[in-house]
Amino acid sequence: MTIGRNLFLLLIMLSIIWPSYVVIVVGPIGVNPIRIVLLCLLIIWSISFFLFGNLQRHIRIIYKQNKVLILLITAFFLQGIVAAILGSANKSVSLSAAILQILYFPVFMLFAVSYIRSLRHVVIFSVVVMISLFIAEAIALLEVAMNGSFFAQYVDAASKTAEQILEGKVRDGRYRVTSTFSNPLSFAEFMVLLYPICFYVVRQVKKRLYRNLAASQIVLIPICMWFTGSRAGLGLLVLSLVWILWLQSGQVIRAQRVLLVSLVICATLILGIILELDRILIDILLGTGGAEGSSYARLLQLMYGIPAVFSSPLYGYGIHQGAEQIPYLNAIDNYYLTVALEKGLVGLILLLFLQKRMIRLLKKAYSSDAGHRAWQSIFQYLIISFVMVFIFELIVSITEVYSIMYVLLGITMVMISLMDLQKRIKHAM
């Protein structure tokens, strides 16, 4: 199990610090190290599953405790395969994309369930994610200095890939950093996911080194978020901060809470107006601005996308075929609309129920009376993280961050199982 666990941690690190579009050229072919590690881990996990009964028993227990959620996850991703076979005009592309989604999301969760088996493993996983985030932020700040993509130099300049990683990355003459992600908004979404967790580490973890790492992230994440050019990302960081302050001010009287939250919101609005003053003046005087194009495009997506959804409501048009249904646009900036187009209304309904069950699982983990309240409060912060990502998906359809989300979901399942075991032992004594 140790080899598998180390490979899993390597896979997590690579999925954060290695761009999916950068390959290592070996002779006539390009090799993506993430897929190589994933393949090796799949082989090792399969051998362990068939040879060791304890892994089978562990997974069986997790399944029984989370049956509805796991069945929802299974149905949602199988709907992608159904849509590829029955609805896609390009079946091979949609089918391969559906299989990749299964490998990168629920399979990552399965690895987390299999290899993260104790609090010590959770701490090691957290350190790996924190170090990986530092690397991603360092690359982002390097891109600020370069005013361009760090990884563009490793891609054929004449290729379609190079065109894609540079497309839409400039706003008002300033490069929007992508770091190790394919899009500035993906990097922003990743930081939105991790931001509340940093506050938990600062507040609850005893080891000073980990607290200092997390404290530095509380400062670094907003700085890097600013350079992504994501207004929604900055707004969600503020919303996360307000929610966290509300949680942490339990001993402050209600009037002081309201005052504190109001001050944070007002300060953020004033800062935003100051920083965006030039764009606001252009909007007022000329009736145009940097954000107009993206806002108009999102309106067009809904105008053309919703009727297209009802033209194929059961299984959609297949993964990577949804944008084809909207004239004049190459991509869709709304994950919910993307799912409805690619997997039909069935897929969208499954997604909404799935999100509800995710939050319910986190609430269950936090509310359990079997665990230690200090470390158990991490699930309260994860609720904030997940809700912020669900909101962010209204303006972005790229799901690079979902690999980590499904890993966190798997870890939550394991922690609930451990707490239930503790409770049974306590009652037996």
The pLDDT, as a whole number, for residue 134 is 95
Q: HSE-up of 195 (CA within 13 Å, CB side)?
A: 33
The pLDDT, as a whole number, for residue 250 is 57
143 in Cβ contact with 179 (< 8 Å): yes
pLDDT band with cut points at 50, 70 and 90 for residue 166: low
Q: Could you tell me if residue 270 is inside a domain?
A: no
**Picking from 175-184, 207-216, 277-286, 328-337, which range would have the lowest pLDDT averaged per residue?**
277-286
Residue 230: strand, helix, or coil? coil
The pLDDT, as a whole number, for residue 290 is 46
Residue 420 clears pLDDT 90, i.e. is over it: no
Check residues 332 and 387 and name the one with the higher pLDDT: 387
The pLDDT, as a whole number, for residue 428 is 64
52-96, pLDDT tens digit by residue?
A: 888 999 999 999 999 999 999 999 999 999 999 998 888 999 999
The pLDDT, as a whole number, for residue 119 is 83
The pLDDT, as a whole number, for residue 289 is 46
Q: Among residues 206, 265, 207, which one has the least CA distance to residue 240?
A: 265
pLDDT band with cut points at 50, 70 and 90 for residue 112: very high
Contacts of 67 (CB under 8 A, 6+ apart): none
Residue 281 clears pLDDT 60, i.e. is over it: no
**Picking from 74-83, 184-193, 373-382, which range would have the lowest pLDDT averaged per residue?**
373-382
Provide the token pair at 173.
């003459």
The pLDDT, as a whole number, for residue 274 is 47
Q: HSE-up of 317 (CA within 13 Å, CB side)?
A: 17
175 in Cβ contact with 147 (< 8 Å): yes
Q: Could you tell me if residue 129 is inside a domain?
A: yes
- Looking at residues 249-274, what average pLDDT do you find? 52
Q: Could you tell me if residue 315 is inside a domain?
A: yes
- Looking at residues 294-309, what average pLDDT do you find? 76
The pLDDT, as a whole number, for residue 280 is 43
Residue 386 clears pLDDT 60, i.e. is over it: yes
The pLDDT, as a whole number, for residue 376 is 76
Q: Could you tell me if residue 260 is inside a domain?
A: no
pLDDT band with cut points at 50, 70 and 90 for residue 118: confident
Q: Could you tell me if residue 263 is inside a domain?
A: no
171-181, pLDDT tens digit by residue?
A: 666 788 999 99
- Looking at residues 367-389, what average pLDDT do you find? 80
Provide the total of helices (H) and of strands (E) in the chain, helices listed first.
18, 4
Please tell me the total count of domains within the chain.
1
Q: Could you tell me if residue 112 is inside a domain?
A: yes
- Looking at residues 295-305, what average pLDDT do you find? 74
State percent of the chain over pLDDT 90: 45
The pLDDT, as a whole number, for residue 277 is 46
Residue 273 clears pLDDT 60, i.e. is over it: no
What is the overall mean pLDDT for the chain?
82
- Looking at residues 140-160, what average pLDDT do you find? 76
Dist CA 186 CA 229 (whole Å) = 12
For residue 89, the enclosing domain spans: 2-248+291-428
Type and span of the H or E element at 26: strand 24-26
| pTM (2 d.p.) | 0.86
Dist CA 146 CA 39 (whole Å) = 35
Q: Could you tell me if residue 93 is inside a domain?
A: yes
pLDDT band with cut points at 50, 70 and 90 for residue 267: low
The pLDDT, as a whole number, for residue 243 is 87
- Looking at residues 210-239, what average pLDDT do you find? 90
Q: Could you tell me if residue 258 is inside a domain?
A: no
Residue 26 clears pLDDT 80, i.e. is over it: no
Dist CA 429 CA 418 (whole Å) = 17
